[in-house]
Amino acid sequence: MSRWDVAFLSAVKMAMVSVIPSDTDRESTLLRRARAGDPAAFRTLFERHAPAVWRFLRDLLRDEAAADEATQETFVRAHGRLSALRDGDRLGAWLLGIARNVYLETRRRRGMTHVDVDDEAHEGQVEAVLPTPSPEDLLLDRELEGLLAEALGALREERRAALLLRIDHGLPYEEIASVMGWSLPKVKNEIHRARLQLRERLADHVGGHS
Amino acid sequence: MNAPCPEHPLEALLAGELPFDEAERVQHHVDSCAACTQSMAWLKLERGWMAQRARRAPHRRALDFSALEARLASAQALRARTQGRWSHQGKMALGAIAALLFIVFNVTQQLPPTPAEDAWGLEAWSVPAGETCVDPTREAVAAIEARVGACLVATPVVLSIAR
């Protein structure tokens, strides 16, 4: 295994330990208890999923205080609708779906608009000029993190949401289709285009160009 | 020009979502395809960046359960109030339905009388108007009295004539 692979796997592993629930069986038990009205079980579920929900909302709203409020609203709604969640449903995807609805309502209430920066012609050129990232590029310093946030923010809202559900929250394409209310081909197409736009914006900072 | 290779099999490979045989096939393709090698490098980069970003997310007060508890309590109180209101409104609706049924029941009880009841109706006790009230003369009364063989003392017309 190359140094590149080791660096990548260790970064992913460290994040998985802190972000993604490790034991789905235990989660379904918690969910059953929470549905039965056990506040401790709901608290555990909140503590496990709230950071991901907050991050998703922060990335959509691009406002940390608004993400705070929207995260709480998401969990208040989730608490009231726990009985609607079926045993086979994945709690994470379900919560992110509620979060997206809360985001859409917040946006409507605040009269938020987004400047669409999509440029189909530009996307066509991206594949030809992209550099190949090196293992050193994996390190996300503060400057690059800011650029990444900017690049994500430049994506059209729906595209950004779909991309984040995939690359940040690890949802399968089928679940993204369900959260977004899209067909599977549309999900794949939108995520592909989002990736091309993101790479184009960050190309100058990878592959030894920085 | 060949169509570019789709990226989602590469992504599925990275995410460990492919069955073993399929994973081997995709990996074999990546090893021999420069475009897919580059795509894999970008996909790994994205995943790595996102993982670091997730770890660095700031701690927010809103992520403390204690901050949520007050909102949950007020939401539950609101739900209980709403349910109570619906329950009250339900009782009122039931009362209205009961009153309506009572009225309908009473109306249906006042159906037209059956033929047997009709024999005992008011018509059976009425006297034809022409014979008692139309002709007020004494001769006419006397003629009627002679015909029925009885004195019509209760007839107002007759009484007024007698005075």
- List all residues of chain A from 70 to 109 with a beta carbon under 8 Å from chain B: 71-72, 75-76, 79-80
Q: What pLDDT is stored for residue A125 in this prediction?
A: 47
A143-173: pLDDT as tens digits: 889 999 999 999 999 999 999 999 999 999 9
Say whether A167 and B58 touch across the interface (CB within 8 A): no
The C-alpha of A87 sits at a distance from chain B's nearest C-alpha, in angstroms, of 22
- Give residue A121's pLDDT band: very low, low, confident or very high (50, 70, 90): very low
Rounded to 10 degrees, the C-alpha dihedral B4/A148/B63/A89 comes to 0
Q: Take residue A129 and report the two structure tokens written for it.
A: 């000029």
Say whether B37 and A50 touch across the interface (CB within 8 A): no
CB atoms within 10 A of CB B74: 11
Q: What is the pTM of this model?
A: 0.69
For chain B, which residues score pLDDT lower than 70?
1-2, 84-87, 111-136, 152-163
Mean pLDDT confidence for A92-114: 90
Cα A190 from chain centroid?
Answer: 14
By the 8 A CB rule, do B86 and B94 touch?
A: no
Query: What letter would DSSP give residue A140?
Result: -
Residue A57: is its pLDDT beyond 60? Answer: yes
By the 8 A CB rule, do A79 and A104 touch?
A: no
Mean pLDDT confidence for A45-52: 95
Sheet strands (E) in chain A: none
A172-195: pLDDT as tens digits: 999 999 999 999 999 999 999 999
Q: What is the rounded CA–CA span in Å between residue A126 and residue A131?
A: 10
Complex-level ipTM? 0.78
Q: What pLDDT is stored for residue A143 in this prediction?
A: 87
Residue spans of alpha helices (H) in B15-136: 20-32, 34-56, 65-109, 115-118, 129
The C-alpha of A23 sits at a distance from chain B's nearest C-alpha, in angstroms, of 17
Choose from B1, B40, B42, B79 for mutation: most chain A CBs within 10 A.
B42
A124-144: pLDDT as tens digits: 445 557 888 887 787 888 888
Q: What pLDDT is stored for residue A9 in this prediction?
A: 54
- Give residue A116's pLDDT band: very low, low, confident or very high (50, 70, 90): low
* A121 or A68, higher pLDDT: A68
Q: What pLDDT is stored for residue B93 in this prediction?
A: 84
Q: What pLDDT is stored for residue A161 in this prediction?
A: 97
Q: Name chain A contacts of B38, Cβ cutoff 8 Å.
A: 130, 132
Residue A8: is its pLDDT beyond 60? Answer: no
Q: What pLDDT is stored for residue B78 in this prediction?
A: 81
Positive or negative CA dihedral for B62, B64, B70, B73?
positive
Structural domains of chain A, with CATH: 3-110 (1.10.1740.10), 120-205 (1.10.10.10)
Choose from B36, B37, B52 for mutation: most chain A CBs within 10 A.
B52
**Number of Cβ pairs < 8 A linking chain A and chain B:** 117
